[in-house]
Structure formats: structure tokens, C-alpha cells
Amino acid sequence: MPIITSDKNVEALTLTFTSHFDAAVERVWQVWEDPRQLERWWGPPDYPATFQQHDFVEGGKSLYFMTSPEGQKMWGWWTVTATDAPSHLEFDDGFADPDGSPNDQIPPTHMSVTLEPFDGGTRMTAVTQFASEDQLNQMIDMGIEEGMIMAQGQIEAILAE
């Protein structure tokens, strides 16, 4: 399993995942950039993702859904706020209605991803920023921590191909 650490920081309202992969930074960048690779790991193994739109440029939008084992679709969106290929990406991530419009029941989060050479491979640090402690705890209760660990655990197989 590539997860090195998972750190919840209530004071900073963040959840940070640090992973190490046995691949070059440029190769790890591709699992974010290519929607067909991204949908193979964005979400736990039993909730596969389908990206209907993925504009991987600053200001670009992504629309996706994850499908539960029972066939229920849970929709989400991204707005890319910064990219510096192949080392840095930032995006807002929120829940969506099936038509792609943001669902404001839960405020969006902001994720910052950094890829850097480390020990012959790549260290990926993904920091999710929450709007409040309540939102952080709500997302933890919804399983975001376990889900992200399982999701990132799928990246290794993609990189090995």
C-alpha cells in the first residue's frame, strides 16, 4: 500500500495524505491528467468513477460520478484552480446534481496536490482543506479518509502497466 501517512489537523481544517510511488513524477502526473487513468482510481475499488468531462487546465471543469455496488450514482465536480505540470495541481471539489450543477448542501473542499522526486520514485502529498470543523468531521464520518486510502492504493497497479 503506497500510503505513508494520513493526518487530520482540526486546527488547520485539513486532511493530508502522503504517498510514495515507484515511478517518475511525470508518470504519476499522468494518473491525474488522463481521465481514463483517473477514473480507474478516483474512488474506492467498489465505487468506480466515470469522468464525463475533465478539462485539466487552470479554470477547467471536471464532472464525474461514482457508482455504488447497488448502481447508485453519486455526482461530483472539480474546478482546477492551479496547475504546474508535472509537480503541482489544485482544485475545488464538490458534490453535484446529475445535471452537473453544484449541490450546495455540503460546501466544496479545496485540494492541493504536490508531486516531488523522492527515494527513486515520487512522493505525492494531497492536502484537502475544509470550510469548517463540522465539514471536516462530517466528511470523516462519510468515510473520506478510508476512501482516499483505498483510492490511492489503486494507483500502484496503474503505474506498473
Per-residue pLDDT reduced to its tens digit, 97-137: 888 889 888 899 999 999 999 999 999 999 999 999 999 99
SS3 151: helix
Looking up residue 125, the CATH number of its domain turns out to be 3.30.530.20
pTM over 0.95: no
Q: Per the structure, how many domains does the chain have?
A: 1
Quick one: pLDDT at residue 30?
Answer: 98
Domain containing residue 144: 3-160
Which cell numbers hold the place of 35?
481521465
The helix or strand, by DSSP H or E, that contains position 81, with its residue range, turns out to be strand 73-84
